[in-house]
Amino acid sequence: MNSMKFLMPVTKRCYWLKSQVKIELLLIIRITFFMLTGGNMRRLSLLRYFTIYSLIAFVITGVVLSFFISNHIKNDQLENTREITRLTLNALLKKELAPDDFSSTLSKEKLDTLQIKFNQVIEATDIIMIKIWDKNGNILYSSNSSLTSQNFAIDKELKEALCNKSIIKISELDNQLNTNALNSFNKVVKIYEPIEFSGSVTGVFEVYIPYDRIQHHVKVLNRTVAIIMSLGLLILYLLLLRIIYNSSKTLISQNQSLLDQKFKLEESYRKLNSTYKSTVKTLANAIDVRDPYTAGHSERVAKISLEVGKMLGLGSSQLELLELAALFHDVGKLGIPDEILKKPGKLTDYEFEIIKAHPQTGVNILENIDFLKQTLPIILHHHEKFSGGGYPSGIKGDEIPIESRIIAVADTYDAMTSDRPYRKGLPHDDAIYEIVRMKGTQFDSKIVDAFLKVDIEQLGINAIKLTN
């Protein structure tokens, strides 16, 4: 009898679980808030984030577990109810029936016997109404005598039961079934149990059980499960929170220490970077000083190249690479004899070939220095022509690294505006005219366009020349 008291529809169960979750959520939030912050929402923000997200995870876990546990209880009790009903019907009613009873109308004596047995069933179980169907939709017997011997269309559940399948469902009460036994209930649990003789289904028991009685027991059981599970999750959550809280304090202390170290490292890096750049510029100037006419050339080329790179929207790392390459672009001239490098007159073809070798010589000098390895292709190709025919490789267009194309323009401008043993430097406007004239042939057009936007005077190029 008790095993048939544990059914509950999913909609009712979900509504009840929702109310339980609200209570559980509010309780945990209040406890957690005052435990962690003492009411101060600005304290331990990282821990607060963990608290919120873990709280959500625990609540979702609780809801999901409650749903599946409740659903498992429902399915388990449905099966128990069906099995107990089958055993009860077979023990008290089926033995009073014979296969021949399902091929004709039952006698008054048989009906009276079934009614007596049904009264015994009522005393032993929660069953309040029963029908016995034959295979043609005829009700051979019903505890509601007005339905006995009537014929009805075979519905879906009855059809499945006649195919030897047990059915159990919760449904609204049909108006035609409002008897004294049923009129106080809005919903009932209906069970369809096949009646077999010699392995063949000859009819079906249709049984009615009040839903209200079952619902009460389901609520009690689900409430007990939810409370136990909520308390368990709450205890687990608070224990975990305490562990995280203690760990968080340690992490905050360690994090502050790391921030202090980071600040010191950044300061050291800034000083090192400043020293490093000064050293690089000093080395570049040391290269230029071999020729008094080109002193400061590399630094000026680097300044112009950086501004052009910014105009083109190059990233910070690419700009740093461009500056390094510009400072060292003529390092290969260390391999050129003074009599050629400082020759006041026109160079012979042989001497010019030696000059043309300085990009490759520069690469050979720098190739074993790790932090300059990325500058090597830029240095190697800074004398290539955009239309081809430059040196040392004769490549053209986008085959030439963009940094090399930038340095080519800056290098040419500074060379044209600087004095040489054999000529005076060109005025700014004349140098600009020549660069524009070689746009698209010797120089990349977009590089020239960016170069024309650079304010040379503002860079202090002339001041650098005067200083050197």
Tokens encoding 290: 């071999």
User: Residue 430: is its pLDDT beyond 90?
Assistant: yes
Mean pLDDT value across the chain: 81
pLDDT score recorded for residue 122: 81
What are the angstrom distances between the C-alpha of 253 and each of 256, 258, 260, 299, 446? 5, 9, 11, 46, 53
Average pLDDT over residues 298-317: 94
pLDDT at residue 312 is higher than 80: yes
Start-end of H helices in 100-178? 108-124, 156-162
Q: Sketch out the chain's domains with CATH numbers.
A: 2-228 (3.30.450.20), 289-467 (1.10.3210.10)
Mean pLDDT, residues 241-257: 80
Task: Please report the pLDDT score of residue 1 as a whole number.
Answer: 41
pLDDT (tens digit per residue) in 77-91: 777 778 888 888 888
Can you count the helices (H) and strands (E) in the chain? Answer: 15, 5
With a cut of 50, say whether residue 344 has pLDDT above it.
yes
Q: Among 246, 228, 225, which residue's Cα sits nearest to residue 236?
A: 228
Comparison of pLDDT for 224 and 134, the residue scoring more? 134
DSSP type of residue 348: P
What is the predicted pLDDT for the residue at 8? 38
Residue 41 has pLDDT above 60, yes or no: no
- Please check whether residue 279 is in contact with residue 324, taking contact to mean a CB–CB distance below 8 angstroms: no
pLDDT of residue 6: 35
Side-chain-side CA neighbours of residue 39 (13 Å): 0
| pLDDT band, residue 465 (cuts 50/70/90) | low
What's the pLDDT score for residue 16? 44
For residue 416, the model assigns a pLDDT of 92
**β-pair partners for 130:** 207
- At 135 the three-state DSSP class reads coil
433 band by pLDDT with thresholds 50, 70 and 90? very high
Distance of alpha carbon 121 from the chain centroid: 60
The Cβ-side half-sphere exposure at 383, using a 13 Å CA radius, reads 16
Q: Encode pLDDT of 173-219 as tens digits.
A: 665 555 555 556 678 889 999 999 988 999 999 998 887 777 777 77
Q: Which position has the higher pLDDT, 436 or 218?
A: 436
CA distances 410 to 22, 169, 238, 287, Å, are: 71, 88, 67, 18
444: tokens are 């990349």
Task: Tell whether the model's pLDDT for residue 10 goes beyond 50.
Answer: no
57 three-class SS: helix
Q: Kindly state the percentage of the chain with pLDDT values over 90.
A: 35
Rounded Cα gap, residues 270 and 260, in angstroms: 15
Quick one: average pLDDT of 281-295?
Answer: 65
More confident residue, 460 or 265: 265
Question: Measured between alpha carbons, how far is 194 from 166 in angstroms, rounded to an integer?
Answer: 7
pLDDT on residue 15: 45
Written as six digits, the tokens of 257 are 């220490």
Please give the order of strands across the beta sheet that includes 187-197.
139-142, 129-134, 200-210, 187-197, 167-172
DSSP letter assigned to residue 167:
E
What is the C-alpha separation between 89 and 105, in angstroms, rounded? 20
The answer, yes or no, to whether residue 408 has pLDDT greater than 50, is: yes
